[in-house]
Amino acid sequence: PGSWLEAQALLVAAEADAAGTRAPVIGGDEPTDVVLYDPALGSPPSTTPGLHIPIAARSELAADPFALHGARPALAAIQMLGRAAERIAVGLGPAPRSASAELTIDREKLDRQLGKLAAGRIGDHETKVLLSAYGVPITRQAVATTPSAAVKLARRAGYPVELKPWGHDLPTEPAGCPIEKGISSDALVRAGFTTVLTAAGKAGAEGTAVIVRETPPSGREVSVSLRELPSLGWTVILEAPGTGQLAAPAPLRLIDAQVLALQVAASRAGDPEPDRAGLANLLRRVSHLAVDLGERLDRLDLPRVVVGGRGSRTLVIDAFIELS
């Protein structure tokens, strides 16, 4: 009691509690995997279960050359080794395709939607129908062919809503697909209907329509793509601000999905921790969809995925697929 190690342990536990995560520091009779101790304060009892690792406040104070230095770096090193051990235990490479049995998949919905789609690039709305068959969380949205229909859909979704043009030949949202945001009334829906179609060069054209969707939740934005790489097969590629591109073989094992999700950090200091569990679930489901589509799939892109804060939603905002 009263040592530097106890002070750092209490601080780490308090930060974990504030973030709503499980603290790596425990007490009482809870089972332990690793015990950190300062040799200067004495060794833990030999009856204490777990791997005993010496730790020093600073490197120059370490009498043991194998001691870790500082509580935070020590915990980070242990967590890294733990993830590596888990990864080795479950095996290398992608998950078996049979692992999709662990997911709730609407095969009838999937087959029905695929039956409607021809080869080529498929737009946002129809791609999201495929994603939803695999339980991938998506924005609540629908397609309207007239301003009056758009108003009805907006009322059903609940104001404010967003409007974007419908079609298979449109660019992604990051690439410039026009969007009207913050629409809060029937009159603005009618105006927005014309605005987005005009911006897309589709005003007055036959078969035009708009997508009416809920306003997406705030959160950290990432992009996800599925590519069939030479010698590697289908691969999940995650791109998050500040981390660059990260990849893992599809279909994803749960631990690989979790490792990818761990790379997403909060946008600003003080923001809630991102919903990494929700992102891992989304990535895993998308990876199984890609592999199950097999030869029908050329590529699958999710240019906008919002990772909500803890307790908020993580979902796909923008998507397209290319079928062969």
What is the domain partition of the chain in residue ranges?
A: 4-90, 97-104+218-323, 140-215
Yes or no: is domain 140-215 CATH 3.30.1490.20? yes
Which pLDDT value is given to residue 8? 80
Pick the CATH number of 97-104+218-323 from 3.30.470.20, 3.30.230.10, 3.40.640.10, 2.60.40.10: 3.30.470.20
- Confidence (pLDDT) at 31: 62
Residue 206 burial (C-beta neighbours within 10 Å; 0-12, 13-18, 19+):
exposed
Q: What is the pLDDT of residue 223?
A: 98
- The pLDDT of residue 38 is 80
Do residues 33 and 50 lie in contact, with contact meaning Cβ atoms separated by under 8 Å?
Answer: yes
One pLDDT digit (tens) per residue for the chain, 324 residues: 677 778 887 887 787 777 666 666 655 556 667 888 887 777 887 777 777 878 877 766 666 665 677 777 777 777 767 766 766 676 778 999 999 999 999 999 999 999 999 999 999 999 999 999 999 999 999 999 999 999 999 999 999 999 999 999 999 999 999 999 999 999 999 999 999 999 999 998 889 999 999 999 999 999 999 999 988 899 999 999 888 899 999 999 999 999 999 988 866 667 788 999 999 999 999 999 999 999 999 999 999 999 998 778 999 999 999 999
Output the pTM of the full model.
0.77
Quick one: which of 41, 45, 80 has its CA closest to 57? 41
How is residue 77 annotated by DSSP? Answer: H
Q: What is the per-residue pLDDT for 64?
A: 62
DSSP state of 217: P
